[in-house]
Amino acid sequence: MSELFLIAVSAILVNNFVLVQFLGLCPFMGVSKKVETAIGLSLATTFVLTLAAICSYLLQQYVLKPLDIEFLRTISFIVVIAVVVQFTEMVVNKTSPLLYRVLGIFLPLITTNCIVLGVAILNANRTEYGFVASSINGFAAGIGFSLVLVLFAAMRERIAIADVPKPFQGAAIGLITAGLMSLAFMGFAGLVKL
């Protein structure tokens, strides 16, 4: 149990996928202008991450390993992720057309979000991770992504009305803020050894 907790803490804070491992920076910069949109994308990405981690674990354990074709890992993981994202897109379009419209292109782009493939491959590399550990890792990666995305969006909403010097306006101040957040997350380094 404590093992699972440590995995979660590691993925959320210590090895945060966005600010420490620098995966998934595109939606981090692109969908962080408004908190509402950021929350919507966070939910969708967390859902996709959890599902993709579970599916890719099953694929790895019950298809690729027994058939001894682990060299097909990347391509089959990408297929799995694409299917999960497509599925999520259909469900979101059916249940919340407004969220579907707000997320726009970033919803199908979750496919190419490197966090999703990153989690799947990192899970597959860690042979000691079982089914539960893999899915917890995927879910926690999503929570970590949501945490920093919502925090960052809240900051950018403040920055938008702040008096920023002209050379730093727009994306520049956003990137500087992201860098400072990343520095702050370095403070968690060494909290969990995994």
Partner 1 sequence: MTLVLIAVAALTILSIIFGALLGFAAVRFRVEGNPIVEQINAILPQTQCGQCGYPGCRPYAEAIAAGDKINKCPPGGEATIQALADLLDIEPEPLDAVEGEKIPVVAYIREEECIGCTKCIQACPVDAILGSSRQMHTVISSECTGCDLCVEPCPVDCIEMRPIETDLRSWKWQQPTRQYQIIASDKEALE
Tell me if 63 contacts partner 1 by CB under 8 A. yes
Please, how many CA atoms are within 13 Å of residue 20, restricted to the half-sphere of its CB?
18
**Interface segment toward partner 1; rule CB under 8 A; list 41-49, 83-91, 120-128, 134-142:** 83-91
* Minimum separation from the CB atom of position 86 to partner 1 (A): 6
- In this chain, which of 5, 30, 58, 86 binds partner 1, going by CB under 8 A? 86
- Residues with Cβ within 8 Å of residue 2, at least 6 apart in sequence: none
**Interface segment toward partner 1; rule CB under 8 A; list 10-18, 70-78, 160-168, 176-184:** 70-78
Tell me if 121 contacts partner 1 by CB under 8 A. no
- In this chain, which of 5, 22, 87, 131 binds partner 1, going by CB under 8 A? 87
Tell me if 62 contacts partner 1 by CB under 8 A. no
Nearest CB to partner 1, comparing residues 98 and 171: 98
Residue 159 and residue 173 in contact, taking contact as beta carbons nearer than 8 Å: yes
What track of x and - describes contact with partner 1 for positions 9 through 38 (by CB under 8 A)? -------------------------x-xx-
Tell me if 74 contacts partner 1 by CB under 8 A. no
Tell me if 169 contacts partner 1 by CB under 8 A. no
Secondary structure, 3-state, the chain = CHHHHHHHHHHHHHCCCCCCCCCCHHHHHHCCCCHHHHHHHHHHHHHHHHHHHHHHHHHHHHHHHHHCCHHHHHHHHHHHHHHHHHHHHHHHHHHCHHHHHHHHHHCHHHHHCHHHHHHHHHHHHCCCCCHHHHHHHHHHHHHHHHHHHHHHHHHHHHHHCCCCCHHHCCHHHHHHHHHHHHHHHHCCCCCCCC
Which residues in this chain contact partner 1 in the complex, by CB under 8 A? 34, 36-37, 59, 63-64, 67-69, 71-72, 75-76, 79-80, 83, 86-87, 90-91, 93-94, 97-98, 101-102
